[in-house]
Amino acid sequence: MLLLQAFKNSDMIPWEVRNRWLNCIELIKGMIFIVTHILREGNVCVDDLANIRLDINGFFWWQDAPICIRHDVVKNMLGLPNFRFTTF
């Protein structure tokens, strides 16, 4: 949701990275794409990767899916649902 809001209002981007953000916006002006919000249940792999990134310093590039998300990747490829359970 924050990314969607950032596309609508670049002022919300922290000043430390705003120049890079604006450069990226310039690069994508010639592209046609759609940005939407999907709940984390809809894309568990991306949610897990985002959580992994919070624990890692530096740049990482994986040729294949990291072991910690391979189970979710397989479920995604098979079209199996993902559920998130909460306790009340």
- In the chain, where the domains are located: 1-37, 40-77
C-alpha span between 4 and 17 (Å, rounded): 17
Determine which of 18-27, 46-55, 69-78 has the lowest per-residue pLDDT on average: 46-55
pLDDT of residue 54: 67
Q: What is the share, in percent, of the chain residues with pLDDT greater than 70?
A: 97
Question: In the predicted model, what is the mean pLDDT of the chain?
Answer: 82
pLDDT in tens, 4-26: 788 888 888 888 889 999 998 89
Whether pLDDT at 37 is above 80 = no
